[in-house]
Amino acid sequence: MEKQKIVLTRKIQVYVDCEDKEKKDAYYKQLYEWRVLAFQAANLVFTHMYVQDRVRELFYFTDDVKVKLADRTKHEDGILNTSRTNTTYRLLSKRLLGKMPSDIFNALNSTLTRLYSKERSAYWRGERSLRNYKRNLPLPFPSNALKFEADEKHKEFRFTLFKIPFKTYLGKDRTDKRALLQRHMAGTIKLCISSLKIEKGKVYLLAVFEMERDEHELKDTVIAEASLSLEHPIVVNVGKTHYRIGNKEEFLHRRLAIQAARRRLQRGATFNRPGKGRRRKLKSLEDWDAQERRYVDSRLHLYSRRLIDLCIKSQAGTLLLVNQLQKEAVAKEEEFLLRNWSYYGLKEKIAYKAQKAGINVIVE
């Protein structure tokens, strides 16, 4: 039996590996120019695909106009002079060829086409609006566009992307980023279409890895029932065994203490030393906001990890989140719960770790 695959995305900070300041500035300028072209092209592609879908609904055309989104050489009623997938590629090629590497707009076209096909039914029903991309759009590229080289001395990795030299910045790396890159270099896992993102003056590699799902001895008949709440982050029942993961004092009280510290600083922010206007006065508040986000994120990762470990230990192949939809509906009506109970983030982390372990998650 073929093992199931799972796709992992890791955000890795990188920087241009060049000592010459002029060349380095030119490389960064080139990346910013490509980013502007990419976001404009993305909006253009989505507009063209939407218009192509809507042509058949333009009822004010005469009755003898027959519309079929297909190559006219293959279909009698076709209105295109090429395949539908190739229409947007030709559009990008006409506008961007010579201004941007073809690998970028080719990968961009493939990604957008796949995404539009996934969401098109929602557009037809009027349940969602057409996507609108901004300037922070990542630059996609195929996996063969880069090859990593290990820097054993500094425990980092180097690679060249479109003739621009890059080097990773992993730091202490308490995650699995370094291990995944090493496994990719060894050929045990595959690198898929990835992207380069510029965010607040820093460059990040969004590396997408395809690997085999972890194999565990799980039984579908064994069901773990988990209840998520603010009082106790996770309460788990597996058969007659009862577990509690986290507690109110650890999660909620610590979070409220961080918020109280932020409010004290906010009251005194008026008297902070100026220098760069609003940004300098509010810097301490931003630091506390970031501290709260980091604390909550680390707790949710820990709670979800312990939950999945318990399911694996108990051989539970199914995880049932009890009364979760009802609790979320109540939380939306109460401001305190909505502000302090991170149910969406916890659910997302549980679903991700469960998929990796091969556990089926049911939200009740």
CATH 3.30.420 given to domain 219-363: yes
Contacts of 163 (CB under 8 A, 6+ apart): none
Pairwise CA distance, residues 145 & 50, whole Å: 30
pTM: 0.75
Q: Tell me if 321 sits within 8 A of 226, measured CB to CB.
A: yes
Q: Tell me if 141 sits within 8 A of 197, measured CB to CB.
A: no
Query: What's the angle, vertex CA 202, arms to CA 23 and CA 300, rounded to 5?
Result: 155
Q: What are the residue ranges spanned by the domains of the chain? A: 5-24+139-212, 26-125, 219-363
pLDDT of the residue at 335: 82
Per the DSSP assignment, residues forming a β-bridge with 235 are 227, 244
Pairwise CA distance, residues 330 & 56, whole Å: 43
Q: Tell me if 190 sits within 8 A of 286, measured CB to CB.
A: no
Query: What's the angle, vertex CA 82, arms to CA 80 and CA 88, rounded to 5?
Result: 90
Q: pLDDT 10s per residue in the chain (364 long)?
A: 446 788 888 899 999 988 889 999 999 999 999 999 998 888 888 888 888 777 766 555 555 554 544 445 555 555 555 566 677 878 888 888 888 888 888 888 888 888 888 888 888 888 888 888 888 889 999 888 888 888 777 688 888 988 899 999 887 777 788 888 888 888 888 998 899 999 888 999 999 998 887 778 888 888 888 888 877 888 888 888 888 888 888 888 888 898 898 888 888 777 766 666 677 777 778 888 889 999 988 889 999 999 999 889 888 888 888 888 888 888 888 888 878 888 888 888 898 888 888 888 888 8
Phi, psi of 20 (to 5 degrees): -75, 115
Contacts of 172 (CB under 8 A, 6+ apart): none
Task: Give 232: exposed, middle or buried? Use CB within 10 Å, 0-12, 13-18, 19+.
Answer: middle
Distances (CA, A) of 359 to 45, 97, 221, 314, 352: 37, 46, 12, 12, 10
Comparing CA positions, the residue from 283, 286, 287, 295 lying closest to residue 340 is: 295
Q: At what angle do helices 102-125 and 84-96 cross, to 10 degrees?
A: 130
Q: At what angle do helices 283-313 and 343-357 cross, to 10 degrees?
A: 40
Token look-up 């063969």 returns: 144
Quick: pLDDT tens for 106-129: 888 888 888 888 888 888 888 888
pLDDT of the residue at 136: 87
Q: How many CB atoms lie within 10 A of CB 92?
A: 24
pLDDT of the residue at 33: 92
pLDDT of the residue at 122: 86
Q: Tell me if 112 sits within 8 A of 83, measured CB to CB.
A: no
Task: Give 13: exposed, middle or buried? Use CB within 10 Å, 0-12, 13-18, 19+.
Answer: middle
pLDDT of the residue at 71: 46
